[in-house]
Amino acid sequence: MLHIIVDRKSLLRAMTIVENAVTENKIREVLSGIYIETQGEKAILRGTDLELSINTEIEAQVKEDGKIVIKHKLIEEFLKQISDDKITLIEKSGKLIIQAGSTNTEFSLYNVENFPVQSKLENGVEYVFEKGKLLSNIENVKISASPNPENLAVNCIRVEIEENKLKLISSDTYRLTYIEEDLEDSQKNKENLSLSIPLKTIDGLVKIMRLIDEEKITLKSDGSKVFFKFSSVEILTRTIDLQFPDYKSILNNSQHNKKILLNTKDFLSVLKRTAIFVRDNKESKNGGIFLFSNNKLLLTGTSENAQIKEEIVTIQEGEDLRISLNVKFLLDYISTIEGKVTVLELLNDKSSVIVKDEDNDKSLYFTMPLAIRGN
């Protein structure tokens, strides 16, 4: 029967990490919990929904080996309300007893024998990335991924490694974000990879990368699964085998004959103000009217009860254009731009618009226009 003494904060942190793989499952209830097992002088924690598994480990004073599956949500709430540095976990008669100072608590457990055996990734190509840069790129690219799990082909981040570059792509079919980075010299000339990683995995990975104080992350894949590894955290996920949109055709075939340069800070400010007015627009949710004319942008946002008009100076190449665009979509991407100048490339009011940082040619954003009402 499991009997361990652990650091309370370390246990809480480990639970926060592995619960990114846990989803409430009323049919197979054991998957709603977190698995804990002793291994030497450590406690191994694992969460899984069968598609995604996350493991981590913490130091433990092991009095007696064992394994349990806890109902973690209530336990987490309790652990946050006590101040003890060390706590004792004891399995007894199918219950978990937590001893902390003068407080004794008892929690029910899931049947550990019903918890699935962990699958492993034996073979595959392996890459090592700088964590900070990868985290930044993932956070910036995932804005365009569809949040709808039923739209599985685009409820993901596309990862491609080819031509000694890492390429990250997302699209909900209304917009597309593309980011590329040159591989470090030590990672060049390896086997190419093309993967669609589920958004749930990406969201969990981002949270974990923020928690982990390490400089490197290892990615390994055989095409059907992806394995991410830090020194004390392992993430294994299945990939999505549905076809991702043909983003290369979009990149290579887009046509534009107008170019607009805008001060990024000023443009961001007018977009934020306009977003207040258009977010509840019943005819065109988040839609604003952009009139580019005579080196100026006149941006109009309308709701049922109010209207805003903003004007800022631009540098314009090409003819005037009136177009309706999703203000929120623009905000999502332009908020990630670090350069002082934002570039828009346009053709007409029905074709995609390219948005990019003038100082960064490794990131592109495509967004489709909205229909202009009343015309």
Task: Give the per-residue pLDDT at 104.
Answer: 85
Alpha helices, DSSP H only, in 142-260? 199-211, 247-253
Alpha helices, DSSP H only, in 320-366? 327-334
Residues in the chain: 375
Pairing mode of beta strands 296-302, 287-293: antiparallel
Q: What is the DSSP string of 105-124?
A: EEEEEE-GGGSPPPP---S-
**Six-digit token string for 280:** 């509840």
Task: Give the per-residue pLDDT at 372.
Answer: 81
User: Which one, of 250, 255, 211, lies nearest residue 230 by Cα?
Assistant: 211
Name the architecture of domain 125-248: Roll (3.10)
Cα separation, 194 vs 85, in Å, equals 45
- Compute the Cα dihedral for 156, 125, 51, 242 and give only its sign: positive
Cα separation, 226 vs 10, in Å, equals 26
Task: Give the per-residue pLDDT at 374.
Answer: 57
Which CATH number fits the domain 254-367, given the four candidates 3.10.150.10, 3.40.50.1440, 1.20.120.550, 3.30.70.240? 3.10.150.10
Q: Residue ranges of the domains in the chain?
A: 3-114, 125-248, 254-367
Residues forming a β-bridge with 317? 259
Q: Give the containing element (helix H, strand E) for 292.
A: strand 287-293
Residues of the chain with pLDDT under 50: 375
- Shared fold status for 3-114 and 254-367: yes
Cα separation, 155 vs 197, in Å, equals 8
Is the distance from CB of 107 to CB of 193 less than 8 angstroms?
no
26-29 CB contacts, 8 Å cutoff, 24+ apart: 28/114, 29/110
User: Which one, of 129, 228, 136, lies nearest residue 186 by Cα?
Assistant: 129
- Coil, strand or helix: which one is 254? coil
Which CATH number fits the domain 3-114, given the four candidates 2.60.40.10, 3.30.499.10, 3.10.150.10, 3.40.50.300? 3.10.150.10
Task: Give the per-residue pLDDT at 284.
Answer: 81
Instruction: Provide CB contacts within 8 A for 79, sequence distance 6+.
Output: 8, 11, 12, 87, 98
Q: What is the DSSP string of 13-24?
A: HHHHHHGGG---
Torsion angle in degrees (nearest 10) through CA of 308, 309, 315, 321: 100
Q: What is the DSSP string of 197-228?
A: EEHHHHHHHHHHHHH---SEEEEEE-SSEEEE
Q: Give the containing element (helix H, strand E) for 365.
A: strand 363-367
Residues forming a β-bridge with 197? 157
Main-chain dihedrals φ then ψ at residue 136, nearest 5 degrees: -60, -45
User: Global pTM?
Assistant: 0.91
For the chain, what is the radius of gyration of the CA atoms? 25
**Six-digit token string for 114:** 């019903």
Is the distance from CB of 355 to CB of 334 less than 8 angstroms?
yes
Task: Give the per-residue pLDDT at 282.
Answer: 75
Residues forming a β-bridge with 175? 367
**Measured in whole angstroms, how far is the alpha carbon of residue 216 from the centre of its chain?**
18
